[in-house]
Structure 1
């Protein structure tokens, strides 16, 4: 048995469960990265990612997706992704990284396009006689095109649309590579939202299932670690017996051998001390006689 499997033998296999909920931000990315670094890969038999999100920062979603794929590849650990209520936009981008994707019948998934939200405050500022001023060496810098205080020109809108389309094409291309032949829709239909059943029928997902049920079926002896991802976890008496039952005779043998060695060297030390004390007593008697 190699060293990397000792902790699995002693403490049992582990399946970390990473939850991604709400708006995805840089804090989400940092949290996922920290948890991945803390995983004891020698015990881990699979990694589960549970999503309930409508996405967020596209850049952060891409970073999280790449982190999960790299972790799975480097450690040869399968990645299982689960959609709960929602996994749309960037959240579906992350979901698509799974070796197997699970959804609920009521899940809403898909719409993997790149959204660009903006608020036009130009009329409000004008009405209240508030003027926004920007001084730049180049009047075409992006500050103008993404400034909520200035009404976008048709040229600015076209520029923003081109950027959005390029990002969307990149996302959709990654999803098509991940899903491969399972995907039954083109890029245009991939930007729509689907229920769980529709997602399975169109290849955006693979099966129905919750993470508790699926992981219990696939890894009946594994501990699901939802939060700390530390190296130690409680295992049930059934799991303990199933792992250690066959090893009990070996443990007893090692214990007997250790006890035998301990008794042997204890007797040797006692004999040495006894002889030393006798020799010391004889020397004292000789000194007294002289």
Structure 2
């Protein structure tokens, strides 16, 4: 090769590839790490949620268990009168408000209280503390019969003390007592029976509303407020009222005997009188309150209340039972019929 020959330029040497940095993550490796971290967080969150649900279920079960234990205890606990049972005292049973099967002045409650009072050896006498406008003659009849039976069985005196009012069914109960004490301004009497309702026939005619009532039995629509009242139905209803009224009168005469002023024609007409007038008519014996009867008549000033009242647990039980029953009915309604 001659000196004049031109040599091709030398290619620069390629720089060696840089060695990968230790610890640097490739895009694929970074994505995998992020996914693994997200999965771990999701898994831990799921575990924590499951733990929380288990704790809540356990708490709920314990709460229901405590509720049912409290419910059973409340239903079986009869009140704290046992500590005074052997000491001489006057047993008091309150009859307050309307007398009916769903009230605290029901035959169930009053009879239970009366049994406990008469059976107690420390009770020197039993007092019915009455403040009621009346109510169901059926409930009053049951109470009257049971009180008379208990008096005869245990040979203990029974007195009635009237506060504000003792009318209708309340007086039906009061005549079972040996003596009736009233305040001079008390309301006493109303020895009668009523059946009340409304009739909307004329209003429906003015509004152009037609009543469509289908019955199997010609008297099934008896006392329907949207149908005209017939003379036959009115007569039948009056006969029923007269029968119950006669029963009321017989009970009063049996309880009061010769103390009644029989020559008073309005005595059983449904009228009521003040306490002082009731004493003059023989419907009551004398003026006096609860303390007076306990101190001067029974000779036992200590008062022990035997009144049976519905407690909180019983109200909760009724509501709970009603809710369960309603739920069962709804569930049955949603069940598809068999084919």
Give, in whole Å, the separation in 1 of the partners of 2:228 and 2:240: 18
Asked whether the equivalents of residues 185 and 203 of structure 1 are also in contact (C-alpha less than 8 Å), the reply is no
Give, in whole Å, the separation in 2 of the partners of 1:188 and 1:81: 23
For residue 121 of structure 1, what is the aligned residue in structure 2? 200
Give, in whole Å, the separation in 2 of the partners of 1:10 and 1:166: 42
For residue 86 of structure 2, what is the aligned residue in structure 1? 11
Runs of 4+ off more than 6 Å: 7-10
Asked whether the equivalents of residues 8 and 43 of structure 1 are also in contact (C-alpha less than 8 Å), the reply is no
The worse-fitting range, judged by mean Cα deviation, of 130-139 and 202-211 is 130-139
Q: State the shift of 1:10 in Å.
A: 8.3
Give, in whole Å, the separation in 2 of the partners of 1:78 and 1:24: 23
Asked whether the equivalents of residues 159 and 177 of structure 2 are also in contact (C-alpha less than 8 Å), the reply is yes
The worse-fitting range, judged by mean Cα deviation, of 211-220 and 66-75 is 211-220
1:61 maps to which of 140, 151, 176: 140
For residue 268 of structure 2, what is the aligned residue in structure 1? 190
Give, in whole Å, the separation in 2 of the partners of 1:114 and 1:211: 29
Give, in whole Å, the separation in 1 of the partners of 2:203 and 2:112: 43
SS at match of 1:11: coil
Give, in whole Å, the separation in 2 of the partners of 1:41 and 1:146: 47
Give, in whole Å, the separation in 2 of the partners of 1:8 and 1:177: 37
SS at match of 1:179: helix
For residue 123 of structure 2, what is the aligned residue in structure 1? 44
For residue 29 of structure 1, what is the aligned residue in structure 2? 107
The worse-fitting range, judged by mean Cα deviation, of 121-130 and 50-59 is 121-130
For residue 181 of structure 1, what is the aligned residue in structure 2? 258
Asked whether the equivalents of residues 94 and 307 of structure 2 are also in contact (C-alpha less than 8 Å), the reply is no
What does the per-residue CA deviation read over 1:51-77, in whole Å, with 9 as the maximum and x for residues that have no partner? 111111111111111122122122111
Q: List runs of 5+ in structure 1 lacking aligned partners.
A: 1-6, 230-290
Q: State the shift of 1:129 in Å.
A: 5.4
* Closer/same/farther in 2, CA of residues 69 and 126 from structure 1, 3 Å limit: farther
For residue 277 of structure 1, what is the aligned residue in structure 2? none
Q: List runs of 5+ in structure 2 lacking aligned partners.
A: 1-81, 309-339
For residue 202 of structure 1, what is the aligned residue in structure 2? 281
Instruction: Indicate whether 1:153 and 2:230 are aligned.
Output: yes
Asked whether the equivalents of residues 12 and 221 of structure 1 are also in contact (C-alpha less than 8 Å), the reply is no
SS at match of 2:194: coil
Asked whether the equivalents of residues 48 and 80 of structure 1 are also in contact (C-alpha less than 8 Å), the reply is yes
Give, in whole Å, the separation in 1 of the partners of 2:295 and 2:121: 20
Asked whether the equivalents of residues 85 and 121 of structure 2 are also in contact (C-alpha less than 8 Å), the reply is no
What does the per-residue CA deviation read over 1:97-118, in whole Å, with 9 as the maximum and x for residues that have no partner? 1100111100111121112121
The worse-fitting range, judged by mean Cα deviation, of 17-26 and 121-130 is 121-130
Structure whose CA Rg is larger: 2
After the TM superposition, which residues 66-81 of structure 1 pair with which residues of structure 2 at under 5 Å, given as runs? 66-81=145-160
Number of residue pairs the alignment of both structures matches: 221
Give, in whole Å, the separation in 2 of the partners of 1:55 and 1:181: 24
For residue 232 of structure 1, what is the aligned residue in structure 2? none
For residue 184 of structure 2, what is the aligned residue in structure 1? 105
- If each structure's helix is expressed as a fraction of its own residues, which one has the higher value? 1
1:165 maps to which of 218, 242, 247: 242
* Closer/same/farther in 2, CA of residues 123 and 31 from structure 1, 3 Å limit: farther
RMSD over aligned CA atoms reads: 2.5
What does the per-residue CA deviation read over 1:173-194, in whole Å, with 9 as the maximum and x for residues that have no partner? 1111211111113564233211
